[in-house]
Structure 1
Amino acid sequence: MPATASEPVRQRRGIRWSARLRLTLMYGALFLVSGAALLAGTYLLVAQSPANKNTRVTAWRTGGPGSGSDQLRGRIEDIVSERRSAQLRVLLTESGVALAGMTGVSVALGWVMAGRVLRPVRVMADRARRISELNLHERLAVTGPADELKELGDTFDGLLSRLDGAFAAQRRFVANASHELRTPLTLQRATVEVALADRDADVATLRQVCERVVRAGESQERLIDALLTLASSERGVDPARCGPTGLAAVVAAVVREREDPRMTVATRPATVHGDAALVERLAVNLVDNARRYTPGDGWIHVATGTSGGRPWLHVANSGEPIPRSRIPALHQPFQRLAPRGAGEGHGLGLSIVAAVAQAHGAELSTLPGPEGGLAVTVTFPAYGDERVGPARVVPEGRQLVAGRTGSRSSGTEGTFPAGARKSARPS
């Protein structure tokens, strides 16, 4: 199977119709056509000029009617006409020879100039051919004037930069996932080996060991479930599984299963077109993330509603202050602000939220809370707009109002979408 779509063309025998050859032939053809048109125009102008067209011969009679002056005038006119035709033929022949010579010169010059113009393309092709997943840090680094070719090179460098980041993120993801999966396996193995080494272990001891192994297995199940959710969200939404989903009902069910005195809820009707299971997973991750990082005397506020026809979900909580510069990293898998402690998650919560939002074409806004913690808002497309596509992550430090962003210099107002504008801390 060929590595590229153009490989079968290169394997054909005969003339290789390269871009340089095509440009050269095009230059030569254009010069030949324009030269032929110029030659034809010049020939017509010379042929129709008054100097050639209105030439007359006048003869005076010196004798009688049979003196031969009429025959002489006719002869002279024939000679003049033949001379004019000969001159035109010479003009046409010499101009044709000159045109053929200049066409050859133009083809040669076109070949040279096409090579000079396409030289950056050859350089880019050679450098791009040497780049693989092992050296994605290299760039084409095209030099020269800011023309279309340099713009092409810079665009390709940008693509390489994004690919380099994607490969690096994939390597980090695999390493982190392997570590997260290996930790409970190591704990299970160590627990079982300790129990087996104790010859005097009774039933109660073995029961405790089994309970620890079960808890470690549950942790593995939660991690695998989160990874599967993340993978399915990044693949996008299956249109066959999409339909109207009551966002307020989903959030109410999630909150009802997690009775928490720190939580206040303000749900208003909002209908989302999407995958109900993924929307529920988004709400679950936002609420669980807020509960996990909110202190015992803190607060959590959950709200749903519609602004400008677009449904939104907002979850805010108090807690440790989070630097603005660290917020973008929280949307990456296995990224935490501090080392993982007992009972904490795997660092996949906000990455799953971002993936689900992207799959539904929603806008995700993550801001530092007014009393620490985070204020996360997910704004879905208006119901009836069934298009799904890439999400737009609102840059940190900007507010989201009715689906539009606007900068704010200070204050906490604006962390809620329009229609829910209030103090972020519930009364």
Structure 2
Amino acid sequence: MRRRSSPARLGLRGRTALVFAVAFLVLSGGVLAGINVLTALGVSARSGASITADVSGTATGAGMGVATVGVDEIARQQLLLWSLIGLLAATVLAAAVGWVVAGRMLRPVRMVTGAAGRISAEDLHERLDHAGPDDELKRLADTFDALLARLEVAFDSQRRFIANASHELRTPLAIQRTAIQVGLADPAPENVAATAEQLLAANRRTERLLSGLLALATGQRGLERTDAVDLDAVVTDQVEVRRARAAQEHTELRVRVDPSVVSGDAVLLGQLMGNLLDNALEYSTKPGVVEVDLDPRRLRIGNTGAVIDPDAISRLFEPFVRLDGDRHSADAHAGLGLSIVRSIAHAHGFTVKAQAPATGGLVVELALT
């Protein structure tokens, strides 16, 4: 069944002008009505007094009383007529004034509407820059400009992410193509074995990259359900899984874990902790130390490593950023570890920050409350 279209309605400017007119009509009409009533009462009292005075005299006096009554009635009717004419004229004027005032007041709104209609993902740099008194409309325009600024940053970040992801996916594919071409050019058994090893390494890198992208998307999507999670148990499990690797790399694991219960997803929290540990082990000096400290308020993981430029700290949580800058090795990591950590942390309402001690290494701290 087709819905009936609603009749055209007045815009906000028209409704404002109409409210001006109606309000003026009601208030002014009440004032004029009161004036006319009081005038009529006054005229009636004066006419009655004139008739009483003239009736006691001659017939000529009575005629004068009737004439007085007629003149007063005409005067009262003319007063009413001119009052109505003046009221209608003033109402029209009030509507016109309301139309003009509403137009000036709604100008920033029209600017926002026009800008919203013009702006696309390609020209988010446009701003309203409304110059006016610090009122509600000025704050509306400033809020819209701030929204555009956030959208511009988000779109730029998305473009960089897509470009980096394309580059990361292209690198293992190029390695695979080169290995296949070399293998086809010289199909000797030893070359076939070397080609297979290269293809397997490139395939592992692609798999790690796709797994990281999936984890990043999962963290950014948020939590579908939450449970009470023993974070101390999650941390202990992830540490135990990596003890053999730490021993092989001559890295000492120093762990202090207090009982801590948080609301969240145990699988995602395990991935968060695993990424933090993998990152700490990867960039720790050999031999070195990785410290894990958990209490009910915070989780802190640090390592002994190279001195990091403090200006680079803010970029560590961006996708595809690596401390060593290696983007071409088949065994290189995708640079998504700390991005995934930040994404999962924000999904759980945690605050994450990183610090670079002057002595070297990196300390990542999550505020759990």
Normalising TM by the smaller chain, what interval? 0.7 to 0.9
Cα displacement (A) at 1:143: 3.1
Shift of 1:224: 0.6
Determine if contact 2:231/2:262 at 8 Å carries over to the other structure: yes
Counterparts of 1:89-168 in structure 2 under 5 Å? Answer: 89-168=77-156
| Residue 209 (structure 2) aligns with | 223
Inter-partner Cα distance in structure 2 for 1:206 and 1:34: 97
8 Å contact from structure 1 (residues 332, 351) kept in 2: yes
Match of 1:198 in 2: 186
Q: Shift of the alpha carbon at 1:217?
A: 0.9
Residue 171 (structure 1) aligned to one of 137, 159, 179: 159
Contact 1:316 1:369 in 2 (8 A): no
Number of the residue aligned with 1:339: 325
**Structure 2 residue aligned with 1:64:** none
Answer yes or no: is 1:258 the counterpart of 2:227: no
Contact 2:208 2:334 in 1 (8 A): no
Could you tell me the TM-score, scaled by structure 1's length?
A: 0.75
Deviation at 1:354, TM superposition (A): 0.9
Separation in 1, partners of 2:263, 2:53: 106
2:220 maps to: 234
TM superposition shift of 1:337: 4.1
Identify if the C-alpha distance between structure 1 residues 289 and 80 changes in structure 2 by more than 3 Å, giving closer, same or farther. Answer: same
Q: How many residues align?
A: 359
Measure the CA separation in 2 of the matches of 1:364 and 1:53: 89
Match of 2:197 in 1: 211
User: Structure 1 residue 371 and structure 2 residue 355: aligned?
Assistant: no
Residue matched to 2:32: 39
What is the aligned partner in structure 2 of residue 272 from structure 1?
A: 262
Q: Distance in 1 between matches of 2:63 and 2:302?
A: 111
Q: Distance between the aligned counterparts of 2:73 and 2:345, measured in 1?
A: 83
Partners of 2:51 and 2:62 within 8 A in 1 = no
Structure 2 unmatched runs, 5+: none
Deviation at 1:145, TM superposition (A): 3.1
Q: Which residue of 1 aligns with 2:279?
A: 289
Report if aligned partners of 1:124, 1:142 keep a CA contact under 8 Å in 2.
no
Contact 1:305 1:313 in 2 (8 A): yes
Determine if contact 2:51/2:65 at 8 Å carries over to the other structure: no
TM-score by length of 2: 0.86
Contact 1:294 1:319 in 2 (8 A): yes
1:315 aligned to which of 297, 301, 322: 301
| Greater mean deviation of Cα atoms: 343-352 or 182-191 | 343-352
User: 2:195 and 2:72 mapped to 1: Cα distance?
Assistant: 118
Letter in 2 for 1:335: V
1:28 to 21, 24, 36: 21
RMSD of aligned Cα (Å): 3.0
Task: After TM superposition, give the deviation of residue 57 of structure 1 in Å.
Answer: 4.8
| Structure 1 pair 254–53 and aligned structure 2 pair: CA distance change class (3 A) | farther
Q: Which residue number in structure 2 is paired with residue 391 of structure 1? A: none
Tell whether 2:343 aligns with 1:355: yes
Residues 93 and 345 (structure 1), Cα distance of their counterparts in 2 relative to 1, 3 Å cut: same
Partner deviation per Cα, 1:252-305 (whole Å, 9 max, x = no partner): 111111112322100111112211110001001111111111111332111212
Shift of 1:75: 6.9
Change beyond 3 A, Cα 1:281–1:94? same
Give 3-state SS (helix, strand or coil) of 1:254's partner. helix
- Deviation of residue 84 (structure 1)? 4.6
Q: 1:367 to 1:54 in 2, by over 3 A?
A: farther
Aligned AA (1:22): R
Contact 2:25 2:87 (C-alpha < 8 Å) held by counterparts: yes
**Higher fraction of helix:** 2
Distance in 1 between residues matched to 2:320 and 2:46, nearest whole Å? 93
What SS does structure 1 have at the residue aligned with 2:363? strand
Measured in 2, the distance between the counterparts of 1:55 and 1:317 equals 108
Does structure 2 conserve the Cα–Cα contact (< 8 Å) formed by 1:354 and 1:364?
yes
- Contact 1:330 1:350 survives alignment (8 Å): yes
User: For 1:372-413, what per-residue CA distance to the aligned partner results, in whole angstroms no more than 9, with x for missing partners?
Assistant: 2222122334xxxxxxxxxxxxxxxxxxxxxxxxxxxxxxxx
Unmatched tracts of structure 1, length 5 or more:
1-7, 62-66, 382-427
In 1: Cα distance, 2:295 partner to 2:43 partner? 89
Structure 2 vs 1, CA of residues 292 and 70 (structure 1 numbering), >3 Å: closer, same or farther?
farther
Conserved? CA contact 1:292–1:344, under 8 Å: no
Paired residue type of 1:283: M
Does structure 1 retain, via aligned residues, the 8 Å contact 2:43–2:72? no
Q: Alignment partner of 1:108: what SS?
A: helix
Report the secondary structure of 1:299's partner residue.
strand
AA at the equivalent of 1:325 = D
Contact 2:254 2:290 in 1 (8 A): yes
The share of aligned pairs that are identical, in percent, is 38
Name the CA distance, whole Å, in 1 between partners of 2:66 and 2:306: 111
Q: Is the contact between residue 56 and residue 77 of structure 1 (CA under 8 Å) also seen in structure 2? A: no
Higher relative contact order (CA 8 A, sep 6+): 2
Kept after mapping to 2: 8 A contact 1:184/1:216: yes
